[in-house]
Structures are given as structure tokens and as C-alpha cells.
């Protein structure tokens, strides 16, 4: 699903991704030589990031009412999940491009505290509230702990401090003021009114203890209470034992504990490491957790031991070893409730150990609970469910309800544990994405609509086998995926996804419908020469699937290419090419064949046998047919395989030989080859057009036409090509002496737009270049991130969204196409042209030509998307030209002040960018031109009845107990209170100057030239346009009597300004003078209609004409006549094509019975029908011509 227009207008320079330093990226771009950096008018704007669940920060659990929520870090923002179903409920604000990542989290009610460097950022839900500023140059905060009205923070140096987070301090920062705060605020306001000077001085004194504003307008606090800890004691963790008033237990780096009173700041007791704790090695304390039993805490150490200690008697209760790895214990948790008392721990190994405290023995061990280092563990109160989080970007919940004491996975949320390198949109809907290629060895499906629909495809009971073998799941998974191919056609029948893996000689199939690994494995045959089997383990480097979904193609590193049937998994042929040989080799083979021929003469019958009598040329024909030497598809690695859209040809590309070979799909014979002149790194095809884009090692992208067997475009990626020849890599191999800048400009991944016009190429320097292939022009060079170059990208079938993966980033990033979501004129404004132009860096279709130096290349720097698009930031960027003041005056001309306010303020649809934009002008008179409004604005009008039926209230409205205080009431006849309609406002007395005002209706007036206020706004504007049209016709009649022709002035001047095809079109249309924008008399009507939603349009239409056709008056019939005249005038113009037809359909549905009652209305309706039929015939003829042309050039005219 495409994003809404508001959310896609991302603000450049304010978006950042988790762990992205946008400032450093920008500095790297701006310091490049001879490169101009732009920060506006990017073709693709950041939308959102997918796949981020949690980072390496301990989560914070918060209970609100009956539900439990967990807050996790995602780099520079936090996310809140509902623990019941692990659904994302809230995403925190982006903390800033220049701020470090979140290092600690804590929660209290609606407040979330984020440790960012030495500061603490306070957020209320999704809004940033204030900042607690630490010491300048201080160490980053590693632990936050909420204790009543205090927030305890521990930094990396071991310093411990407390911040006041009481309601008196934070309660009124965002307007959330309590009753007590309201009274104090009102009292202070009155004091300031009495004495401004005293109030100002008091404000200054209050500011010393309260917040003050920073340079960027943020509210900051600087008052922090630091605790005096024992000498050489560095705090690492903190917890609060139950019933210990104002006291916390701190764990130290020296392996000891401290009991601290936070109110007095005094150390009550110091638990020595060598004492009852038994920490003889003085291993640092890594975590401290309170136990359900009184006076008991659990302590985890860096040497992998866990000790349960009684802080009241300073005695050790028991000690455990975590998992035998002697790695750090990072978090522990105690279970509570009526079941077994359990203790769970997680450490750097990713294993979770669960101990029975009653029996003091190990209950179970969850090996590989996380693929990498674990981070957090938490037992839900009164439940055997354990929640864990790790560095593998996953949150999992385990339930320990098995009879043997083991646990099972209950629910989880997970993304890629390692950065993926491949991404592609799946299917024509463009709502799902396939991502793979990371070291986590996973193939994942992401949903662009709902995050909870994302999943990882199963690899045949990996979890069960890993549990039985006591190893991690990653060790049993397939190697990292190198390339993915998919087809939606046969999704319900058999496997429809094929993958090749790094160093793996087999290709694997997947059933995306079931989310599992397929049962068929595609194993290419071994290469056999005259000495026997020579190659059995050549890895597969490229895969492809035919358009029909029946066949899969695989390419090997040794140059072989094979075809398999996906249903059976059997080999269905190998691509072989015939090669020429020298005379000596041919003579040797002929001698061997003659020897074989002599043995054939010894058959029964000898030379007169039937076999020899049929062989007229003594076997030479058979010799030339069967013994002609063949070779693999390529000399070296097969870099890519591409199939066309009609199963006619298959194209294979060679990395070493730099040749694209075209094969027949049916008999697998070679049709021809196209020499690129340089090593081919990757290839991408466009099936409908038969075009292939190849990225070559000389920093060029060559576009090939496989039908014409020629190169049609050579697109330069910057830098000069490498013309040297390397003997090691073959005849046409890449030179070993290459410039590093050329290597950075070589495209690593390519993408074709669905219409075949755009080619996108991503290079190692972090840039993504977009070319217009028919125009042979570089549209733009965008730099997404110099530190994280693009490793994979895919453009959605609707071309509205671009998905990218980046080096070092575990997410999939979505970018909105500005040309799809911009209003009319947004993509072609003058401000955009300066960025889209590239000076001399143009492409060429000549094989020997080379582009000029890339010093004039314009680069547009765009920061990576955030977790979710921010609506507030979206309002700051408008993807189109703003309206001029003169246009606004013209649009509201003829309206009263109240009417203009209704149009501009009260109509919700008028506030959207599409409604504010002027109606698109037809390219030529009479051509159908869309209104470019949201589809729901006019489509909802056609289905308004069903929408109202669906939204009908299920319960009747209830009578309010009391009327609002501001409505005057009086005593009714029945004794109840009713509204006093005659009561006036208090302000009316101030406005009366000349006695008592004349009592008149506030609803019905007769003021105005074109009618009173009883007329609807739509009818008033229609009659205003009709009056202007009548005046224009009278002027034309007067000019005709004087001998002045209508087209002598305006029309000819307009036509003279047109050039080329537009000039001929203007001359072809006889009604060009009537379609001119200067004679658009109903412009105010269409502007008014464009700013209305479906309900508003329905109300406007129903306000015209009679309520009942049987009681229709003459005045009401005239209203319908004026409206029909409006449709008869506007429909032939071609403007707002879909909007006017939807309005006409709804108008006839509402007033059809009334139109049938009068002859005058029927005649006008016939005129409208003729105009609509004539307009649609013009559109239908053009569509049929385009369809026939596409069918002819696509080879489908005979089907």
C-alpha cells in the first residue's frame, strides 16, 4: 500500500536512521572535489524503515492498567510493543541527527526516559518533553532506574546521580497540568498582572530551580544530585529491595555491593566482595535484581556466576553457574506467583539458563535463545512466561509449561540479525518485500502495511534439530543467500522462489505461500570431459525464474547454465555453445571417427549392410552434426540470468568474458551474443520491452536490446573507462591496474522501472544514479549515505516506492517517489530542473564514445529514513510549487468573506496538497485530463450509500443530562429545560450604535446580486459562471457586428506561442477558443468542488433542485437547468475528467426522477449525454490505438 501524501513528503535533513551519523555523511559529501551538494528536490524522499525491533540496550517493562508494554531501543528512537501479542503500538520521536544512540531506557506511567550520551531525554508518549543535561564532556549513561519521584542514572565511569521526575517538575511542561498546578498557575498569573516588576524578578528566581530553554528551543534541566560513593567504588547496576524505604542496592565494578539511602545520600552498608558474597576473584557486578522474597537480591557477575544474597543478614543463600561458558551474565529475573520459584539468566553467549530455587538445581537450558549476545530477561508476574531480548534484533517470549521442565517459544518479533544485501518487491501489489543476504542466513518477508505480518521463511525444523543437537540455529541454516529469484504465477501450485547461496553448489526452492523451504533442490550435473568428471562442487552464482513460473535457470561459477523444472526439480537442459577449432584438432577427431567407422563395417552384412547403404557420404554428415565441439555458456562466472516476458529468449551474462549471450527459450540454442567490452558485474532485465541493463567494471551501465541484438545506451557512472586488458582474466577481462575511484563508481546493483523508462544504479560510494533511458539523460545522483552504501534495491511495480538495503544496516528502507506524490507541476518546476540537470555528464549510445568529465555532476544528499514517517516534519516540505498570491485572489474572487472562509477552512479536503493545487491544464484542447485528486475523494461519491450503511450507528443517541453551560435555556411547557432561541449574545449590546438592531433571520437573507443566502454555494457559483458566459457571448456578438472575428486576438496569440505538436493540435480543434483558460468561466465552480470531500459533494448536489420530484416548482427546475448547462459546458473541455463524471453520475442518481418530469430538463440532459458520449469516444479511440500499437510491437497482435 502506498503511503499517504502527507506522510511521504519527508523533510530532508531531519530524517535519520538508527546508528546513522548524518553529520559525518554530509561532511564527506561536501568535501568531495568538484561536487555540488543539494539538499532539496530529491526524486526519492525518505518514508520509513522496516525490520528494526531492538538494539543492544536493555528493555524497560511498564504496566498500564491490565496491559503490559515493553519499551525497546531502535538507535535514535524507541519503540513500544504490547506484550500480549507483540504488536507495535507506538514509536517515539527521533532524537536528532547529531545525537548519539540511546544507551539506556526507563519508564514511568506515560513517561519514557532515554539515556543519550551524558543526557537524559524525557518523552511523554511520542512527544519530546524535556532534557536532563549532564556534565559537559561526561561519560555516557549506561543504566537508568526509576525509584518513586527520582530517576537514578549511572554512567560509564561509575558515577551515580538522581534527577527529580516528580509531577510538580514534569507535570505541566506539555500542558498536562493537575488541579493543584492549575490553581498555582492562576495565582501566579494574577500576581503578575498586579506587579509586573515583582513577577519578573520572581520568574528569574524560579528559573534557577526549574527548566530553561536551549538554543534550539528545547526545555532542559541541569540540576542533578550526585551521590558520594565509597572510594574506588564504581557503580554498574542498581535495584530496589522491597520494603526498604528510600534505599537502593548498587553493584560495583570491584565486585562489591552498596546499600544507599538516596534521600540522605549516605552509604548504609558496604558488602565486600571477599566477604559473604564469595566473590574472591573480585569479578565485576554486571546486574542486580530484586527477588520476590524479602531482603533477597540476585547478583550476576562478569565471570558467569550468579549469587542469591540476603542483604539484611549479609549472607549468601546459593550460587549458580550460568551456562559453563564463563561469559558475562547480563541480566537475571525471578519468577513470582504460586508456581515453582525460578531464576532465569541470560549472558553474552545468547543462552538462557533457568534454575529452580527451591531445589537449587538447573531446570532447563535454552541453548541459542538468541543467535548473538543476549541483553535482557524478564519474568511476567504470576506467569511462567519469560521475555528475552538480544543483540540479534529479536524479542522472544518463552513459556515453561512442559512436563520435563523445558520451555517452548510462545511468540516473538524479529528482524534481520545481520545486514541484508538483497531486497525485492514481491508480486504486482507491491506490499511485500523479500530480503536476504545477511550473515544471519535468513530469508525474510516484510510487509509494507503491517509490521506483524513480517516473517522468516522456515528452513525445515531448524529449531527442533538445533535443540536436539544442543547447538545454535544459525549453525544448521543454509549459507548466506547470494541471489533471489521469484515469480507470483505458480505460487499456489509449487515452489515459486529460488535462491543461490555463497559457496553452495545447489540452488534451493521455497514455498512462499506456506513460508517454508521447498522439497526440491536444484542440483546441476557434474561437468564431464574426456578424462571423466572434472567439476562437482562449482558454486551457483545466479538464478532466474521464467515468467510462466514453470522453469528455473541457474548459472555456475564455472560458466555452465542449466534449466530445471520447478514442479519436479529435474534437469531440463544445459546451455551449450558451439566453438571453432583449428585444423589439427579437427583432423584428430576425424581420424578417431574413421576408426570407429571401420568397426561399424564389421556389422552383419559388411559394407552392403542396410546401415552402410543409407550412409551416402560415409558418415561425414553425422560427424559434423554430433561431434561439433561445444563449450559452456561463458568462460568464467555467470554474473546474471535474465528471462523475457513472453518466454522467447533467455539472456546470460559473463563476469570474466564480458559477453551477453542470447539463447532460445524453447530449444536452448544460441541466437547471438552482444559484447560489452568490460566485465559484467550484474544485470537487470525489463521483460515487456526486451531491454537488459548491465553494470560493467569500467563504471558504465550498458542498456542492450536483445531483440535487435545491439547496444542502445551507454550510461556513465562517472570517471573514465578502463581500456586495459588483463591476461589473467581472459581476453576482455578487467585490467589489474584500476583506479580506486573507478571501483567506487562501479554499479553493484541495478533496477528497472516497471515502465522501462528509468534505470537506477547504486555504487560503492553511496550514490544512486537515476537515468531516463529514452531521453538518454541522467536525472539525478542521490547520495543516501556515504558510510553505508546501497547493497540492494528494488522499485515497486507502481513505481511509488523504492526499497534499499545498506551495508552495516539491519533494516530495509523505503523511499517515496516524489514524482508520484507531488501535485501538478511539482516534478517539473524550475527549482527542480537545476537539480535534475547534470551539465555535460550525458549518456551516449555509441560504443566508442565516452562521456565528459564528471566534475559538473550534481549530487543530492538525502538522509536515511526513520522508523516511521513523521507527520509534523512532512508539513515542512511541499513537493510542488506554491500558489501565487494572484491565483488565490482569482480563486476566491466573487465569494463573500464568509464563503471564502468556508471553502478554505471548513472543508477538510481543501487542506490537502492536491486540493490546493490548481486543476491541471489540458495539453491540448479537448484532451481528457485527470483532476489528480485522491481516489477516495471522487470514488467514495459513487459508493456513498454503502459507506453510510457501514458507518450507521448501532445504538440511538442518548439525551444529555444537562445542556452545555454556554447555551441559554428556559423553562418549557412540560416543565423541562429547552433552548432559548430568542436569547442574544452578551456582545450584541456593545455593537449596537443606533438603537435596537432590526430583528432578521440569520439564515435566510436576500442580499447579493445573484440571489440570497438560501442558494447553496455551488448553485451561486454556477450562476455566476453562467452570467460571465452570457456577457462574453454578448461581447462576441457585438464584435461580430463590427467585423472582428473571435480568434483574431487571444486565440492566435496563444497558438503562436505553441510549438511543434501542440501548435498542430491547436489548429486541428475548432473549439480551441472555447477551451482557452481565459474563457474558463466555471473555474470557481471546479475549484470549489475540488476542495470538497464525498459527503460535502453529496450535500452540495442535494441542495440543488427539489426535495420531491412530484412537488417541483419552476424555480427548482431552473436550478437543475443551470446545473445541466454547467455539465454540458465543462465535460467537452476535458478538465477534471474523473471528478466531473463521478459528479454527473451522482447528480443523475439523485435528480433523475425530477429530470424526467419536464421536457426542458430532458432536452438539456440529452445535450449532456451527447457531450459525455463524444468525449468518451475520443478517449476510447486513443486507448484502442495504443492497445493495438502495443500488441503489434509486443508480438501479440495475432493472439
Q: What is the pLDDT of residues 365-397, one digit of tens each?
A: 988 889 889 999 999 998 999 999 999 999 999
pLDDT tens-place string over residues 813-843:
999 988 877 654 444 333 333 333 333 344 4
What percent of the chain lies above the pLDDT cut of 70?
71
pLDDT tens-place string over residues 1003-1050:
444 444 444 445 678 888 888 888 888 888 888 888 777 777 655 555
Evaluate whether 660 touches 671 at the Cβ level (below 8 Å).
no
Predicted local confidence at residue 1078, as pLDDT: 54
How many other β-carbons are positioned within 10 Å of the β-carbon of residue 968? Answer: 13
Burial class (CB in 10 A: 0-12, 13-18, 19+), 934: middle
How far apart, in whole angstroms, are the C-alpha atoms of residue 651 and residue 645? 12
Phi, psi torsion values for 191, nearest 5 degrees:
-65, -35
Burial class (CB in 10 A: 0-12, 13-18, 19+), 280: exposed
Asked if the model's pLDDT at residue 991 lies above 60, the reply is no
Torsion region of 1029: left, alpha or beta (phi above 0 gives left; psi -120 to 50 gives alpha): alpha
Asked if the model's pLDDT at residue 602 lies above 80, the reply is no
Asked if the model's pLDDT at residue 495 lies above 90, the reply is yes
Helix 1137-1155 vs helix 1159-1193: angle between axes, to the nearest 10 degrees? 150
Name 980's Cβ contacts closer than 8 Å, sequence gap at least 6: 968, 969, 970
Grid coordinates of 545: 525464474
Predicted local confidence at residue 13, as pLDDT: 35
Could you tell me whether strands 777-783 and 858-861 are parallel, antiparallel, or unpaired per DSSP bridges?
A: parallel
* Lowest mean pLDDT segment, chosen from 214-223, 473-482, 739-748, 965-974: 965-974
How many other β-carbons are positioned within 10 Å of the β-carbon of residue 644? Answer: 23
Which is higher by pLDDT, 960 or 334? Answer: 334
Closest CA to 567 of 525, 522, 513: 522
Question: Which residues, in sequence order, are bridge partners of residue 733?
Answer: 726
Could you tell me whether strands 858-861 and 812-817 are parallel, antiparallel, or unpaired per DSSP bridges?
A: unpaired
Which is higher by pLDDT, 467 or 1183? Answer: 1183
Asked if the model's pLDDT at residue 998 lies above 60, the reply is no
How far apart, in whole angstroms, are the C-alpha atoms of residue 781 and residue 32? 14
Buried b (16+ CB within 10 A) or exposed e, 1038-1066: eeeeeeeeeeeeebeebbeeeeeeeeebb
Instruction: For residue 928, name the pLDDT band (cuts at 50, 70, 90).
Output: confident
Which three-class secondary structure state does DSSP give residue 1109? helix
Closest CA to 857 of 950, 782, 784, 911: 782
Name 236's Cβ contacts closer than 8 Å, sequence gap at least 6: 142, 143, 154, 158, 251, 252, 253, 284, 285, 286
Predicted local confidence at residue 824, as pLDDT: 44
Q: Which helix (H) or strand (E) holds 167?
A: helix 167-170
Cα end-to-end distance, the chain, whole Å: 33
Predicted local confidence at residue 220, as pLDDT: 83
Asked if the model's pLDDT at residue 894 lies above 50, the reply is no
Q: What is the rounded average pLDDT for all residues in the chain?
A: 77
Instruction: For residue 1102, name the pLDDT band (cuts at 50, 70, 90).
Output: confident
- Tell me the CA distances in angstroms from 957 to 550, 952, 963, one per residue in order: 60, 12, 15
Asked if the model's pLDDT at residue 185 lies above 70, the reply is no
3-state SS, one letter per residue, for 420-431: CCEEEEECCCCC
pLDDT tens-place string over residues 331-369:
999 998 878 899 999 999 889 999 999 999 999 998 888
How far apart, in whole angstroms, are the C-alpha atoms of residue 589 and residue 627? 8
pLDDT tens-place string over residues 577-598:
888 766 676 677 667 666 666 6
- Give CA 1168 to chain center in angstroms: 45
Asked if the model's pLDDT at residue 118 lies above 50, the reply is yes
Q: Which one-letter DSSP state was computed for residue 458?
A: B
Phi, psi torsion values for 1030, nearest 5 degrees:
-65, -40
Asked if the model's pLDDT at residue 935 lies above 50, the reply is yes
Predicted local confidence at residue 339, as pLDDT: 81
Asked if the model's pLDDT at residue 906 lies above 50, the reply is no
pLDDT tens-place string over residues 284-343:
999 999 999 999 999 999 999 999 999 999 999 999 988 888 889 999 999 988 788 999
How many other β-carbons are positioned within 10 Å of the β-carbon of residue 613? Answer: 10
Asked if the model's pLDDT at residue 759 lies above 90, the reply is yes
Which is higher by pLDDT, 889 or 674? Answer: 674
Mean pLDDT confidence for 167-172: 81
Question: Which residues, in sequence order, are bridge partners of residue 445?
Answer: 434, 455
Asked if the model's pLDDT at residue 1001 lies above 50, the reply is no
Asked if the model's pLDDT at residue 1137 lies above 80, the reply is yes
How far apart, in whole angstroms, are the C-alpha atoms of residue 531 and residue 537? 17
Predicted local confidence at residue 870, as pLDDT: 52
pLDDT tens-place string over residues 612-668:
655 555 555 556 555 677 888 999 999 999 999 889 999 999 999 999 999 999 999
Name 409's Cβ contacts closer than 8 Å, sequence gap at least 6: 396, 397, 398, 463
Amino acid at each position: 500500500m502506498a503511503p499517504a501524501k502527507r506522510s511521504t513528503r519527508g523533510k530532508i535533513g531531519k530524517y535519520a536512521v538508527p546508528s546513522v551519523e548524518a553529520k559525518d555523511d554530509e561532511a564527506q559529501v561536501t568535501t568531495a572535489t568538484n561536487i555540488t551538494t543539494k539538499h532539496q528536490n530529491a526524486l526519492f524522499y525518505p518514508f520509513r524503515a522496516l525490520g528494526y525491533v531492538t538494539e543492544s540496550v536493555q528493555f524497560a517493562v511498564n504496566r498500564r492498567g491490565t496491559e503490559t508494554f515493553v519499551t525497546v531501543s531502535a538507535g535514535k528512537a524507541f519503540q513500544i510493543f504490547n506484550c500480549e501479542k507483540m504488536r507495535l503500538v507506538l514509536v517515539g520521536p527521533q532524537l536528532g541527527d547529531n545525537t548519539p544512540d540511546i544507551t539506556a531506557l526507563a519508564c514511568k506511567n506515560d513517561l519514557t526516559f532515554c539515556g543519550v550520551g551524558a543526557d537524559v531525554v524525557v518523552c511523554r508518549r511520542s512527544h519530546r518533553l524535556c532534557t536532563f543535561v549532564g556534565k559537559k564532556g561526561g561519560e555516557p549513561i549506561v543504566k537508568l532506574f526509576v525509584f518513586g519521584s527520582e530517576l537514578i542514572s549511572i554512567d560509564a565511569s561509575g558515577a551515580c546521580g538522581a534527577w527529580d521526575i516528580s509531577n510538580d517538575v514534569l507535570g505541566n511542561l506539555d500542558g498536562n497540568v493537575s488541579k493543584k498546578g492549575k490553581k498555582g498557575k492562576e495565582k501566579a498569573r494574577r500576581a503578575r498582572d498586579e506587579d509586573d516588576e515583582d513577577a519578573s524578578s520572581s520568574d528569574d528566581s524560579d528559573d534557577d530551580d526549574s527548566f530553561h530553554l536551549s538554543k534550539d528551543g528545547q526545555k532542559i534541566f541541569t540540576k542533578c544530585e550526585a551521590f558520594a560513593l565509597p572510594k574506588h567504588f564504581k557503580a554498574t547496576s542498581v535495584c530496589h529491595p522491597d520494603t526498604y524505604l528510600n534505599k537502593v542496592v548498587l553493584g560495583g565494578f570491584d565486585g562489591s555491593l552498596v546499600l544507599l539511602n538516596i534521600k540522605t545520600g549516605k552509604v548504609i552498608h558496604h558488602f565486600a566482595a571477599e566477604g559473604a558474597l564469595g566473590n574472591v576473584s573480585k569479578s565485576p557486578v554486571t546486574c542486580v535484581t530484586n527477588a520476590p522474597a524479602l531482603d533477597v537480591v540476585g547478583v550476576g557477575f562478569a565471570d558467569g556466576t550468579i549469587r542469591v544474597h540476603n542483604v539484611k543478614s549479609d549472607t549468601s543463600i546459593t550460587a549458580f553457574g550460568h551456562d559453563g561458558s564463563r561469559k558475562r551474565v547480563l541480566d537475571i529475573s525471578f519468577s513470582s506467583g504460586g508456581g515453582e520459584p525460578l531464576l532465569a539468566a541470560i549472558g553474552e553467549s545468547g543462552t538462557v539458563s533457568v534454575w529452580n530455587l527451591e531445589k537449587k538445581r538447573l531446570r532447563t537450558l535454552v541453548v541459542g535463545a538468541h543467535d548473538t549476545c543476549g541483553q535482557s530477561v524478564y519474568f511476567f508476574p504470576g506467569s511462567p512466561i519469560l521475555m528475552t531480548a538480544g543483540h540479534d534484533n529479536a524479542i522472544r517470549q518463552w513459556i515453561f509449561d512442559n512436563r520435563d521442565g523445558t520451555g517452548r517459544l510462545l511468540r516473538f518479533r524479529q528482524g534481520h540479525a545481520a545486514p541484508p544485501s538483497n531486497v525485492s518487491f514481491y508480486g504486482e501489489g507491491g506490499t511485500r518485500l523479500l530480503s536476504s543476504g545477511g550473515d544471519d542466513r535468513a530469508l525474510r518477508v516484510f510487509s509494507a502495511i503491517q509490521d506483524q505480518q513480517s516473517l522468516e521463511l522456515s528452513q525445515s525444523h531448524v529449531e527442533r534439530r538445533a535443540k536436539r543437537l544442543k547447538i545454535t540455529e544459525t549453525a544448521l541454516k543454509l549459507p548466506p543467500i547470494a541471489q533471489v529469484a521469484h515469480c507470483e504465477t505458480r505460487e499456489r501450485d509449487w515452489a515459486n522462489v529460488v535462491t543461490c547461496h555463497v559457496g553452495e553448489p545447489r540452488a534451493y526452492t521455497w514455498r512462499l505461500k506456506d513460508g517454508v523451504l521447498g522439497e526440491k533442490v536444484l542440483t546441476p550435473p557434474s561437468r564431464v570431459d574426456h578424462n571423466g568428471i572434472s567439476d562437482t562442487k562449482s558454486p551457483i552464482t545466479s538464478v532466474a525464474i521464467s515468467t510462466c513460473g514453470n522453469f528455473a535457470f541457474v548459472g555456475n561459477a564455472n560458466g555452465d547454465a542449466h534449466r530445471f523444472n520447478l514442479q519436479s526439480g529435474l534437469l531440463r537442459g544445459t546451455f551449450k555453445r558451439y566453438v571453432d577449432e583449428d585444423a589439427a584438432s579437427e583432423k584428430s577427431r576425424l581420424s578417431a571417427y574413421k576408426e570407429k567407422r571401420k568397426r561399424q563395417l564389421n556389422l552383419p552384412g559388411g559394407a552392403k549392410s542396410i546401415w552402410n547403404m543409407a550412409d551416402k557420404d560415409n558418415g561425414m554428415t553425422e560427424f559434423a552434426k554430433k561431434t561439433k565441439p561445444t563449450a559452456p555458456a561463458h568462460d568464467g562466472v555467470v554474473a546474471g540470468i535474465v528471462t523475457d516476458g513472453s518466454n522467447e529468449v533467455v539472456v546470460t551474462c559473463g563476469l570474466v568474458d564480458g559477453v551477453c549471450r542470447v539463447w532460445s527459450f524453447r530449444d536452448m540454442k544460441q541466437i547471438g551474443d552482444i559484447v560489452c567490452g568490460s566485465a559484467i558485474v550484474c544485470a537487470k532485465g525489463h521483460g515487456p520491452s526486451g531491454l537488459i541493463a548491465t553494470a560493467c567494471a569500467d563504471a558504465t551501465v550498458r542498456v542492450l536490446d536483445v531483440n535487435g541484438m545491439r547496444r542502445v545506451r551507454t550510461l556513465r557512472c562517472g570517471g573514465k573507462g578502463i581500456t586495459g586488458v588483463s591476461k589473467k582474466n581472459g581476453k576482455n577481462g578487467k585490467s589489474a591496474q584500476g583506479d580506486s575511484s573507478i571501483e567506487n563508481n562501479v554499479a553493484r546493483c541495478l533496477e528497472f522501472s516497471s515502465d522501462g523508462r528509468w534505470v537506477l544504479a547504486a555504487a560503492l560510494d553511496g550514490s544512486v544514479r537515476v537515468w531516463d533511458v529514452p531521453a538518454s539523460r541522467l536525472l539525478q545522483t542521490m547520495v543516501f549515505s556515504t558510510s553505508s552504501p546501497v547493497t540492494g534495491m528494488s522499485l515497486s511495480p507502481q513505481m511509488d516506492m523504492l526499497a534499499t538495503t545498506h551495508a552495516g544496516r539491519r533494516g530495509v528502507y523505503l523511499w517515496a517517489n516524489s514524482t508520484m506524490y507531488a501535485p501538478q507541476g511539482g516534478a517539473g518546476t524550475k527549482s527542480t530542473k537545476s537539480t535534475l540537470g547534470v551539465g555535460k555528464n550525458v549518456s551516449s549510445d555509441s560504443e566508442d564514445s565516452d562521456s565528459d568529465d564528471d566534475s559538473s555532476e550534481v549530487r543530492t544528499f538525502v538522509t536515511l529514513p526513520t522508523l516511521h514517517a513523521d507527520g509534523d516534519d512532512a508539513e515542512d516540505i511541499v513537493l510542488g510549487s506554491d500558489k501565487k498570491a494572484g491565483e488565490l485572489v482569482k480563486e476566491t474572487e466573487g465569494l463573500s468573506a464568509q464563503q471564502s472562509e468556508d471553502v478554505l477552512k471548513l472543508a477538510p479536503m481543501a487542506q490537502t496538497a492536491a486540493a490546493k493545487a490548481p486543476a491541471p491544464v489540458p495539453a491540448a484542447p479537448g484532451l481528457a485530463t485527470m483532476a489528480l485528486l485522491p481516489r477516495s475523494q471522487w470514488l467514495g461519491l459513487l459508493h456513498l450509500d454503502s459507506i453510510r450503511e457501514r458507518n450507521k450507528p448501532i445504538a440511538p443517541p442518548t439525551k444529555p443530562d444537562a445542556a452545555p453551560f454556554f447555551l441559554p435555556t428556559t423553562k418549557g411547557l412540560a416543565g423541562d429545560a429547552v433552548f432559548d432561541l430568542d436569547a442574544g449574545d452578551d456582545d450584541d449590546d456593545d455593537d449596537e450604535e443606533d438603537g435596537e438592531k432590526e430583528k432578521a433571520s440569520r439564515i435566510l437573507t436576500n442580499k447579493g446580486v445573484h440571489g440570497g443566502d438560501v442558494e447553496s454555494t455551488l448553485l451561486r457559483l454556477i450562476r455566476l459562471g453562467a452570467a460571465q458566459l452570457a456577457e462574453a457571448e454578448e461581447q462576441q456578438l457585438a464584435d461580430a457586428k463590427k467585423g472582428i472575428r473571435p480568434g483574431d486576438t487571444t486565440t492566435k496569440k496563444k497558438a503562436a506561442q505553441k510549438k511543434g505538436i501542440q501548435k498542430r493540435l491547436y489548429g486541428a480543434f475548432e473549439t480551441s477558443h472555447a477551451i482557452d483558460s481565459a474563457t474558463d468561466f466555471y473555474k470557481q465552480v471546479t475549484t470549489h468542488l475540488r476542495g470538497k470531500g464525498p459527503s460535502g459533494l453529496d450535500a452540495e448536489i442535494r441542495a440543488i433542485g427539489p426535495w420531491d420530484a412530484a412537488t417541483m416548482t419552476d424555480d427548482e427546475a431552473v436550478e437543475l437547468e443551470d446545473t445541466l448547462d454547467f455539465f454540458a459546458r465543462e465535460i467537452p473541455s476535458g478538465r477534471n475528467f474523473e471528478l466531473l463524471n463521478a459528479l454527473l453520475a451522482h447528480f443523475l442518481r439523485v435528480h433523475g426522477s425530477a429530470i424526467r418530469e419536464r421536457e426542458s430538463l430532458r432536452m438539456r440532459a440529452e445535450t449532456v449525454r451527447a457531450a459525455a458520449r463524444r468525449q468518451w469516444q475520443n478517449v476510447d479511440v486513443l486507448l484502442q490505438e495504443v492497445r493495438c500499437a502495443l500488441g503489434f510491437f509486443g508480438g501479440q497482435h495475432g493472439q
